[in-house]
Amino acid sequence: MAKNVTEKKVITEKKSNNLKRQGVLYFWSALFVAYGIIFCYIPLVGWIMAFQEYKPNTGLLGSKFVGMAKFTRLFSDPMFIRVIRNTLAMGVLNLVTTFTMAIVFAILLNEITHSKSKKVVQTISYLPHFLSWIIVTAILHDALSSTGIVNELLLKFGIVKQAINFFAHEEYFWPIVAFANVWKETGWNAIIYLAAITAIDPSLYEAAAIDGAGRWDKIKYVTLPGIKPTIIILLIMNIGNVLNAGFEIQYILGNGLIQQVSQTIDIYVLKWGISQMDYSLGTAAGIFKSAVSIVLIVICNQVAKKHGEERLY
């Protein structure tokens, strides 16, 4: 009896203590929420543009309301449906390739025991990140041209009889975009995983070695589980971004012959929205993208929750 009472007392004391102790947490939370509302949520007022025929001279307050007209226009346009397909396809392909490549690269790099070569390799690996798309795509275009290195190799090894015009065929475009992304971003994306790997307790590797684990076992049972929370968080965040498959690279690499597969939502918005002085259409497309993103991350988050994994919120 007496024991119970003291226990209860301890708990309530702990709670009030907690609240008092947590005062600083509440303080920061309030501050960050205020900041977030000002800089991230207030601008969302701009979303009413999607329901207007927005004109800069009349502004947000004075422009004519058109209801859902912009959305109806988007979804009744077969071209928009097609760019959604393209965006999704490239988004998923890019996600799968860049994501796995970054993890594989981080793990393999971590396996290099010679620390100098490790540093050199890593420094080189992230350099392409700093080249603009204009430059990277120019080099890629060059490499894939009829006299470029790729065709030269294919011809030399007799894989093809005649140079392939890679940019004239729809089926090559998505893989080329995925490759370009891998090429440019693998090293950069790996940085995060390398940081996560540093957090793994070295004694775990030693313990695994004592248990007779080989290299693959160590990767499988120590490294991968060690960076799993990071992988899952990044995966969920990136899944939310599949509709942001890009603009520049598709714009530069695309051409009339393959425009059916090369155009993304952002290109569509530029051509049919902004270039036509129709600012509202872009906002409507943006809202659509946001909605898809949020639905996707909610689903992923639920799945992660179900499996007891790390989750976004």
Partner 1 sequence: MSKEITPKKRKASTGDIIFHICNGIFMVLFVVITLYPVLNTLAISLNDGLDALRGGIYLIPRKFSIKNYTTVLQKDNLMIGAYVTVARTLIGTALSLVANAILAFVVSRKNFAYAKQLSLFWVITMYVNGGMIPIFLLYKSLHLTNSFLVYVIPGMISAFNMLVIRTYMKGIPDSLEESAQLDGAGYTKIFIDIISPLCKPVYATVALFVAVYQWNSWFDAMLYNRQKSNLTTLQYELMKLLSSVTNQSSSAEAMKNSSSAITPTSIRAAASIITMLPIICIYPFLQQYFVSGLTLGGVKE
Partner 2 sequence: MKKKVVSMLLASCMILGALTGCGGGSSEGKSGGKSGDGGVKEFTAFFSVPGSEINDDNEIQQIIAEKTGVKVKETWLTGQTAEEAIGTLIAGGEYPDFVDAGDGSIQMYEAGALVALDDYIDKYPNIKEFFTDQEWDSLRQSDGKIYWIPQFSNIYGEERTCTHNDEAFWIQARVLEWANYPQIHTMDQYFDLIEKYAKENPTMEDGTPVIPYTILCDDWRYFCLENAPQFLDGYPNDGSVIVDVDNKKIVDYNTTDTAVKYFKKLNEEYKKGIVDPESFTQTYDEYIAKLSTGRVLGMIDQWWDFAYTAEDALKSAGLDAKGCQYVPLPITIEEGMSNQWHNSGGIVHTSSGLAITTSCKDVEGALQFVDDLLSQEIHDLRFWGVKDVDYQVGDDGMYKKTPEMRSNDADTAYKASHKCEYSYFPQWSGTSRDNKNAMKPEGQEQEFYDGLSDSLKKCFMAYGVETYVEMLGTTPAPGPWYPMYTYSQTMTTATPGGTAWNLMDECKHMYLPKVVMADDFDAGWAEYMNAYNACKPEDFLAEMQTELDRRISEAAKYSN
CB 148 within 8 A of CB 142: yes
Terminal CA-to-CA distance of the chain, rounded, Å? 41
Closest CA to 223 of 236, 212, 208: 208
Query: What is the closest distance, in whole angstroms, from the C-beta atom of residue 137 to partner 2 in the complex?
Result: 8
When CB distances are held under 5 to 8 angstroms depending on the partner's kind, the choice from partner 2, partner 1, none that residue 167 binds is: partner 2
List 97, 260, 290, 301, residue binding partner 2 (CB under 8 A):
260
Work out whether the CA dihedral 102, 197, 206, 117 comes out positive or negative: positive
> Where does this chain touch partner 2 (CB under 8 A) — which range of 5-13, 93-101, 185-193, 251-259?
251-259
**Radius of gyration of the chain from its Cα atoms, rounded to whole angstroms:** 26
| Tokens read off for 44 | 């969302």
Among 16, 57, 76, 113, the residue binding partner 1 under the rule CB under 8 A is 113
Which residues in the 141-200 window bind partner 2 by CB under 8 A? 141-142, 145-146, 165-168
3 state SS of 64: strand
Closest distance between partner 1 and the C-beta of residue 1, in Å? 27
Q: Which stretch binds partner 1 (CB under 8 A): 2-10, 81-89, 107-115, 158-166?
A: 107-115
What's the angle, vertex CA 287, arms to CA 284 and CA 293, rounded to 5? 145
All residues at 6 or more sequence positions from 71 whose CB lies less than 8 Å from its CB, including other chains: 50, 284, 288
- Residues 150-209 contacting partner 1, CB under 8 A: 183, 186-187, 191-192, 194-204
User: Given the complex with partner 2, which of 29 and 276 has the nearer CB atom?
Assistant: 276
Please say which residue, 289 or 311, places its beta carbon nearer to partner 2.
Answer: 289
Q: Using alpha carbons, list the distances in angstroms from residue 101 to 35, 70, 167, 184, 208.
A: 36, 39, 24, 11, 26
245-274 positions binding partner 1, by CB under 8 A: 251, 270-271
Asked if 279 interacts with partner 2 (CB under 8 A), we say yes
- Contact between 114 and partner 1 by CB under 8 A: the answer reads yes
Give the residue with the Cβ less far from partner 1, 5 or 61: 61
Site of tokens 């959604």 = 84
Site string for partner 2, 189-228 (x = CB under 8 A): ----------------------------------------
